[in-house]
Structures are given as C-alpha cells and as structure tokens.
Amino acid sequence: MKKERSLAGRLLQYGALTLFVHLAACSDGAPTPPPPANMAQAVEDAEPAADTKLVVAFGDSLYAGYNLDQGKGLAPILEKALNAQRIKARVVNAGVSGDTTAAGLARLSFTLDGLPRRPDLMLVGLGGNDMLRGLSPEETRANLDAILAEAKKRGIPVLLTGMMASPNMGPDYAAAFDPIYPELAKAYGATLYPFMLDGVIGKRALLLPDGIHPNDEGVTIIVGKLAPLVAGALKP
C-alpha cells in the first residue's frame, strides 16, 4: 500500500506539473522548444562499423536531451550503457523537442532514409506532446500505428517507450490514451517499456526545474531501466 500511495502521489504531482506545461503550451506567447541543431549531423555521422549495432532513438524532447549538455542525453548515455555490457552499438539521437506523433510521422522517412543502412533497432518515444496539448487519443494512435507500420515494412524491430495521461486530463482521456502503447506493441510485436518517466517523475532531484524533463541523473535512471530491454531486443 505504501508503494501504491507513493506512486499515486507522484502521478498527482505529474498532473499538476503537466497542467502548468499544458497551459503554457497553449499560450500564444509560449515559445516552442527548438529541435536540436545537431540532429542532422548526428544522422550523417552515424555510420557504424560492420560489427556494431545501429540503434535510432526516434522521439521528442525526452529523447533529444532537452536542456542537457552534449553527451548527457538519452542516446549517448544509452550507447555507453550498451558498450559497458559489451554490446557494440551506435545510438543515433533522432529526437526533436516539441514533436507530436504527427510531426514524428512526417519526418520518419526522411530520418530513416538518411541513415547509412537499415537500423538494427528503432526506439520510438512520441505521444507526450499530444497528451499535453489535449490532442485526440485516436489521432495519437493512428500516427503511432503508421510509424510502426512503416518500421515493419522496412524490417526494423521497434522498442516502444510508452507515456501515461496526466491525471488532470480526466479519466475518459486516460482510458483512451493509456492503452495505446501496450496495444500497439502487442499488435506489431514490438518490445514495450510501459512508461518513459518511470522512477523519475515526481522526484525533484532527478528533474530539470520544469518538473517534467529528466536531468543528468534522471537520464541515468531511465537508461538503467531501459538498457536491459534494448540489449534484449538487439540479440539475434
């Protein structure tokens, strides 16, 4: 019970914080987080050795390393974690801050076509901005479905990192939004990491001042949970 209350408390805090971000995002004067300027260069420099796995982290700000120093985001930390497990891997940062699932779908082919070869694994982490903006869960599902369908068409295995609706969005929204990730993962045979911010959300010491995005330590926590799944997905 204590663990359940603790999780409930963190989710309520998540709700309050995401409500603030949602209101800010809907404000006419609110700036949109810029995409990382080095993403195209990262893709161009991604050619790995023949015995090195190519992994693409395709998502939003949680993948892009929002407001973190270079080398501190998800992609480089995950790459180090895999190499520490003696898995030779090159993890490409294809995250763009502010991306919705629609924006991700629009740039998917461009991103994949720009790689030197077909990746061994694609991490997909989109939908959080859809939720923050109150976009239709049906639209989110359709876009993610199209992304996974394209990956399947190209023969690219997928690891899907899920998101949960903030409590302030209401039970009806959550009932439509939360099942998207497990249901699509099952439909496409994708590996599922149920909640991208698991173990981090609600813990101020692991978050940037906005209370949503992980700081250096938060990224390390996420990678510690995510890396074993990535390693498993990369095995023949």
Catalytic residues: 61, 210, 213
**Edge-to-edge strand list for the sheet holding 158-161:** 89-95, 53-59, 121-125, 158-161, 191-193
Length of the chain: 236
Q: What is the dihedral of CA 127, 133, 137, 140, to 10 degrees?
A: -40
Selection from 107, 160, 103, 166 nearest residue 134 by Cα: 166
CA angle 87, 149, 162 (to 5 degrees): 60
184 by Cβ neighbours in 10 Å (0-12 / 13-18 / 19+) ranks as: buried
Distance separating alpha carbons of residues 194 and 88, to the nearest angstrom: 25
